[in-house]
Amino acid sequence: MFWDLEDNSAPYPNNYLDSYFSPELFWLNRDLCESLLGSQFDLQGGFQHESNGRDGIDGRNWDRLYIQPLWTFGETGDYQVIVTPKIWAPVNIGDEMQDIADYFGYGELWLKWGRHDGILLETMLRKGMEDWNGAVELNASYPIKPLNVFLYGQIFYGYGDALRLYDQEVTSYRLGFAISR
Protein backbone atom coordinates (compact mmCIF):
# COMPACT_ATOMS: atom_id res chain seq x y z
CA MET A 1 0.00 0.00 0.00
CA PHE A 2 1.35 3.43 -0.91
CA TRP A 3 0.67 6.56 1.09
CA ASP A 4 1.84 9.94 -0.16
CA LEU A 5 2.68 11.84 3.01
CA GLU A 6 2.93 15.13 1.10
CA ASP A 7 -0.58 14.79 -0.33
CA ASN A 8 -2.59 14.03 2.85
CA SER A 9 -3.26 10.46 1.74
CA ALA A 10 -2.24 8.95 5.08
CA PRO A 11 -2.92 7.62 7.62
CA TYR A 12 -6.66 7.84 7.07
CA PRO A 13 -8.49 4.63 6.15
CA ASN A 14 -9.18 4.24 2.42
CA ASN A 15 -7.36 7.50 1.71
CA TYR A 16 -4.20 6.00 0.24
CA LEU A 17 -2.48 6.71 -3.05
CA ASP A 18 -2.55 3.13 -4.29
CA SER A 19 -2.34 -0.50 -3.24
CA TYR A 20 -0.72 -3.41 -4.99
CA PHE A 21 -1.88 -7.04 -5.22
CA SER A 22 0.29 -9.55 -7.03
CA PRO A 23 -0.81 -13.18 -6.59
CA GLU A 24 0.79 -15.73 -8.87
CA LEU A 25 0.76 -19.39 -9.73
CA PHE A 26 4.26 -20.62 -10.54
CA TRP A 27 6.48 -23.62 -11.16
CA LEU A 28 10.05 -23.61 -9.80
CA ASN A 29 12.78 -26.09 -10.63
CA ARG A 30 15.65 -25.62 -8.19
CA ASP A 31 19.22 -26.47 -9.11
CA LEU A 32 18.20 -27.49 -12.61
CA CYS A 33 21.83 -27.83 -13.63
CA GLU A 34 25.27 -26.47 -12.92
CA SER A 35 25.86 -23.64 -15.32
CA LEU A 36 28.56 -21.16 -16.14
CA LEU A 37 31.37 -20.68 -13.62
CA GLY A 38 29.82 -23.24 -11.26
CA SER A 39 26.71 -21.18 -10.53
CA GLN A 40 23.44 -22.77 -9.48
CA PHE A 41 20.79 -22.47 -12.19
CA ASP A 42 17.11 -22.39 -11.23
CA LEU A 43 14.16 -21.85 -13.54
CA GLN A 44 10.79 -20.40 -12.63
CA GLY A 45 7.77 -19.78 -14.80
CA GLY A 46 4.18 -18.94 -14.16
CA PHE A 47 1.11 -16.77 -14.32
CA GLN A 48 1.03 -13.46 -12.44
CA HIS A 49 -1.88 -11.12 -11.78
CA GLU A 50 -1.26 -7.52 -10.74
CA SER A 51 -3.93 -5.08 -9.71
CA ASN A 52 -4.56 -2.18 -7.38
CA GLY A 53 -7.93 -3.42 -6.11
CA ARG A 54 -9.94 -0.47 -7.43
CA ASP A 55 -12.69 -0.14 -10.00
CA GLY A 56 -13.48 2.47 -12.62
CA ILE A 57 -10.98 5.00 -13.94
CA ASP A 58 -8.61 4.42 -10.98
CA GLY A 59 -8.62 0.63 -11.48
CA ARG A 60 -5.49 -0.99 -12.87
CA ASN A 61 -4.97 -4.67 -13.61
CA TRP A 62 -3.06 -6.94 -15.91
CA ASP A 63 -2.14 -10.60 -16.17
CA ARG A 64 1.00 -12.06 -17.67
CA LEU A 65 2.79 -15.30 -18.31
CA TYR A 66 6.49 -15.21 -17.46
CA ILE A 67 9.71 -17.16 -17.41
CA GLN A 68 12.49 -16.32 -14.97
CA PRO A 69 15.90 -18.00 -14.92
CA LEU A 70 18.00 -17.49 -11.77
CA TRP A 71 21.78 -17.81 -11.58
CA THR A 72 23.26 -17.93 -8.06
CA PHE A 73 27.01 -17.49 -7.64
CA GLY A 74 28.48 -18.32 -4.23
CA GLU A 75 27.82 -20.78 -1.44
CA THR A 76 24.76 -20.83 0.83
CA GLY A 77 25.60 -19.03 4.08
CA ASP A 78 28.27 -16.91 2.40
CA TYR A 79 28.07 -13.86 0.17
CA GLN A 80 26.17 -14.58 -3.04
CA VAL A 81 25.48 -12.82 -6.32
CA ILE A 82 22.13 -13.58 -7.94
CA VAL A 83 21.26 -12.61 -11.52
CA THR A 84 17.58 -12.88 -12.40
CA PRO A 85 16.13 -11.74 -15.73
CA LYS A 86 12.34 -12.01 -16.00
CA ILE A 87 10.61 -12.04 -19.39
CA TRP A 88 6.83 -11.82 -19.72
CA ALA A 89 3.96 -11.79 -22.19
CA PRO A 90 0.79 -9.91 -21.22
CA VAL A 91 -2.34 -12.07 -21.58
CA ASN A 92 -4.97 -9.69 -20.21
CA ILE A 93 -4.67 -5.93 -19.76
CA GLY A 94 -7.31 -3.74 -18.11
CA ASP A 95 -8.97 -1.02 -20.17
CA GLU A 96 -7.28 1.81 -18.26
CA MET A 97 -3.72 0.67 -19.06
CA GLN A 98 -3.60 -0.67 -22.60
CA ASP A 99 -0.23 1.08 -23.12
CA ILE A 100 1.48 -0.70 -20.19
CA ALA A 101 4.24 -2.10 -22.45
CA ASP A 102 5.32 1.47 -23.28
CA TYR A 103 6.33 1.82 -19.61
CA PHE A 104 7.00 -1.75 -18.38
CA GLY A 105 8.29 -3.35 -21.57
CA TYR A 106 8.42 -7.14 -21.64
CA GLY A 107 10.97 -7.87 -18.96
CA GLU A 108 13.21 -6.72 -16.16
CA LEU A 109 16.58 -7.62 -14.68
CA TRP A 110 17.29 -8.12 -10.96
CA LEU A 111 20.83 -8.14 -9.58
CA LYS A 112 21.38 -9.08 -5.92
CA TRP A 113 24.45 -9.21 -3.71
CA GLY A 114 24.68 -10.14 -0.05
CA ARG A 115 24.14 -12.88 2.45
CA HIS A 116 21.05 -14.31 4.07
CA ASP A 117 22.11 -13.37 7.59
CA GLY A 118 23.58 -9.95 6.65
CA ILE A 119 23.18 -7.09 4.27
CA LEU A 120 21.41 -7.63 0.95
CA LEU A 121 21.68 -5.10 -1.88
CA GLU A 122 19.37 -5.37 -4.90
CA THR A 123 18.76 -3.44 -8.07
CA MET A 124 15.99 -3.80 -10.64
CA LEU A 125 16.30 -2.45 -14.18
CA ARG A 126 13.33 -2.25 -16.54
CA LYS A 127 13.07 -0.66 -19.99
CA GLY A 128 9.73 0.29 -21.51
CA MET A 129 9.06 0.05 -25.23
CA GLU A 130 8.52 3.80 -25.76
CA ASP A 131 11.29 6.42 -25.59
CA TRP A 132 13.42 6.04 -22.43
CA ASN A 133 10.50 4.93 -20.29
CA GLY A 134 11.48 2.35 -17.71
CA ALA A 135 12.58 2.15 -14.09
CA VAL A 136 15.49 1.67 -11.73
CA GLU A 137 14.94 0.43 -8.19
CA LEU A 138 17.62 0.14 -5.50
CA ASN A 139 16.97 -1.81 -2.28
CA ALA A 140 19.03 -2.46 0.83
CA SER A 141 17.99 -4.64 3.75
CA TYR A 142 19.57 -5.86 6.96
CA PRO A 143 18.21 -8.36 9.49
CA ILE A 144 17.29 -7.23 12.99
CA LYS A 145 17.69 -10.63 14.59
CA PRO A 146 15.91 -10.25 17.95
CA LEU A 147 12.77 -8.97 16.18
CA ASN A 148 12.99 -11.36 13.21
CA VAL A 149 12.40 -8.48 10.77
CA PHE A 150 14.55 -6.57 8.28
CA LEU A 151 15.43 -2.89 8.21
CA TYR A 152 14.61 -1.91 4.64
CA GLY A 153 15.46 1.05 2.42
CA GLN A 154 14.43 1.70 -1.18
CA ILE A 155 14.93 4.29 -3.90
CA PHE A 156 12.76 4.10 -7.03
CA TYR A 157 13.07 6.22 -10.16
CA GLY A 158 11.01 5.85 -13.31
CA TYR A 159 7.63 4.53 -14.35
CA GLY A 160 5.45 1.90 -12.69
CA ASP A 161 6.16 2.48 -9.01
CA ALA A 162 2.43 2.30 -8.28
CA LEU A 163 0.00 0.78 -10.79
CA ARG A 164 -2.38 3.74 -10.63
CA LEU A 165 0.47 6.03 -11.71
CA TYR A 166 2.21 3.53 -14.01
CA ASP A 167 2.52 6.13 -16.80
CA GLN A 168 3.94 8.92 -14.62
CA GLU A 169 7.63 9.36 -13.88
CA VAL A 170 8.29 9.41 -10.13
CA THR A 171 11.14 9.35 -7.67
CA SER A 172 10.34 7.65 -4.35
CA TYR A 173 12.36 7.10 -1.18
CA ARG A 174 11.26 4.57 1.43
CA LEU A 175 12.54 3.45 4.79
CA GLY A 176 10.84 0.87 6.97
CA PHE A 177 10.67 -2.72 8.10
CA ALA A 178 10.02 -5.88 6.11
CA ILE A 179 8.97 -9.33 7.32
CA SER A 180 10.68 -11.10 4.40
CA ARG A 181 13.08 -10.36 1.55
Q: Is the pTM of this model over 0.75?
A: yes
**Cβ atoms of residues 108 and 124 within 8 Å:** yes
- The pLDDT, as a whole number, for residue 16 is 61
Could you give all domains of the chain from N- to C-terminal order, each with its CATH number? 5-178 (2.40.230.10)
The pLDDT value recorded for residue 20 is 80
pLDDT 10s digit of each residue in the chain, 181 long?
666 666 655 555 555 667 788 999 999 998 777 666 678 899 999 999 999 888 888 889 999 999 999 999 988 889 999 999 999 999 999 988 999 999 999 999 999 999 989 999 999 999 999 888 999 999 999 999 888 899 999 999 999 988 888 999 999 999 999 999 8
Strands (DSSP E) contained in the chain are 24-34, 40-51, 61-73, 80-93, 107-114, 120-127, 134-144, 149-158, 170-178
